[in-house]
Amino acid sequence: MTCVSLILAAGLGTRMKSKIPKVLHLLGGVPIICWSVQSAREASGSDPVIVIGPEQHDVRATLDLGIRYVEQEERLGTGHAASQAAGLLQGKVDLVLVTSADMPLLRPGTLRRLIEVQERNQGPISLLTARVMKSRGFGRIKRAKDGAIQAIIEEAHANDEELALCEVNVGAYCFQADWLWDHLPGLSLSAKGEYYITDLIGMATSAEERVAWVEIEDDDEIIGINTREHLAEAHDAIRKRINQKWMLAGVTILDPTTTYIDSQAEIGVDTTILPNTNIEGRTIVGEDCVLGPNSVILESRIGDHCKVFMSVMTRAILENEVAIGPFAHLRPGAYLCQGVHMGNFGEVKNSTLGPGVKMGHFSYVGDAKIGKNSNISAGVITCNFDGKEKHPTEVGEDVFIGSDTMLVAPVRLGKGSRTGAGSVVRRDVPENTLVVGIPARAIRKLEESD
């Protein structure tokens, strides 16, 4: 049977009290709606159709191609939202999987089971249910004495007896498509002025049609996001899910409760992540690394056998066997080649540190290229900004830059050169030459033995 998924996302999300649409809040490093799209897409095997509000262009801009959109001009409820897709989908498919964009934790396998149950169901609807301790404002499932589902009662309209029911509607349904399009126009307006998709259940059972269900057992799947408190619960669940995935794949996570790994990150086997570490965005980490504690790594690439100890990296690259920290700060464009060691209070921006470079203590390197095996002593600064423009610094191989040297860019230091402590280098330094002073001047040519 052919199946298309329809994701309802036009709601205003007013309970979030936010300037941005609810479904664009981040969860595991990506907008909430991306999770709902991925699950629906995997379960149905096709690109979803999304119902959005008239001013939600940023939702379109966030998602990838292939997705089709229909607009709901007026927010008249979930039933009204679904009916907006009739024009696009009527007569095109056998089944319609309807989900809400604010239920991002539903797994593709769960939605797949729902579709399979509906494929075998004689009646027009199958839905997901869950037995819960906390109702989170969900509609209650009302059953007849024989156990058949009778209706869904929205919390706002439930009496005390109905409120006490602990089986809830998760908000995911699989419909016989023709039945859905035929019956949506028959919904009547609720006391709250909305057309509820949930009223289709009562409509089916009054016509003696069978409503099938799939009960979800995993509590974390049924977190719907209506408020920021729910968002925090969802974060907690996603963090556990992602950490578990990496632990099963061979990554040691010492304290999963304080380790945050975004969904797009990748981590190699036998890497260890220590407490309070965030691995954000599309960061790729190799094997046998130790990351943390207390580190934040954003959109970066880290090779094998690296150590990132109490440090911050943003859009930076480490080749293999690089060790940084404590308190190293790599900013965008920092590229540390194999075997680099960078100690405490160093900052590198838009610069390459060649293989084996040592930069042990409090220095700033910006817009520079540092050659292989050079040494950057304590307090070295590339003065790359003259107040108007940025300028480059080039340092050759095997250069020794003495403590507190100021490299006033643009400037070049030739291969094998040295600077004395406290020099202010304003002019290029030839190869194998020692410069000292302010401004630095050459005092002698260096011999092999120096």
Q: Which of 230, 235, 361, 391 is catalytic?
A: 361
Q: Which of 101, 151, 89, 90 is nearest to 125 (CA)?
A: 151
* Per-residue binding letters, 143-182, with ligand UD1 (x by CB under 6 A): ---------x-x-------------xxxx-----------
Distances (CA, A) of 40 to 3, 57, 239: 11, 21, 21
Question: Which residues face 216 on adjacent strands?
Answer: 130
Query: Phi and psi (nearest 5°) for 348?
Result: -130, 130
Identified binder of ligand UD1 from the candidate list 62, 75, 158, 258, rule CB under 6 A: 75
Identified binder of Ca ion from the candidate list 102, 221, 233, 262, rule CB under 5 A: 102
And the tokens for 194? 């909305």
| Pick 187 or 316: Cβ nearer ligand UD1 | 187
Q: Which of 349, 266, 269, 336 is nearest to 308 (CA)?
A: 336
Question: Which residues have CB under 8 Å from 435's CB, separation 6+?
Answer: 417, 418, 419, 420, 423, 425, 429, 441, 442, 443
Question: Which residues face 395 on adjacent strands?
Answer: 370, 413
311 binds, among ligand UD1, Ca ion, none (CB under 5 to 8 A by kind): none
Q: Which parts of 15-34 interact with ligand UD1 (CB under 6 A)?
A: none
Using CB under 6 A as the binding rule, whether residue 405 contacts ligand UD1 is answered as no
Point out which span in 94-102, 179-187, 258-266, 310-318 binds ligand UD1 (CB under 6 A).
Answer: 94-102
Identified binder of ligand UD1 from the candidate list 35, 138, 179, 335, rule CB under 6 A: 138
Task: Annotate 65-95 with DSSP letters as a single string.
Answer: TT-EEEE-SS---HHHHHHTTHHHHTTT-SE
Question: Catalytic site residue 361?
Answer: yes
The residue to which tokens 């309970």 are assigned: 15
| Pick 231 or 429: Cβ nearer Ca ion | 231
Using CB under 5 A as the binding rule, whether residue 224 contacts Ca ion is answered as yes
Point out which span in 79-87, 101-109, 200-208, 437-445 binds Ca ion (CB under 5 A).
Answer: 101-109
Identified binder of ligand UD1 from the candidate list 29, 31, 124, 224, rule CB under 6 A: 224
Using CB under 6 A as the binding rule, whether residue 110 contacts ligand UD1 is answered as no
And the tokens for 272? 């260890």
Interface contacts to ligand UD1, rule CB under 6 A: 8-11, 51, 72, 75-78, 80-81, 100-103, 137-139, 152, 154, 168-171, 196-198, 224, 226
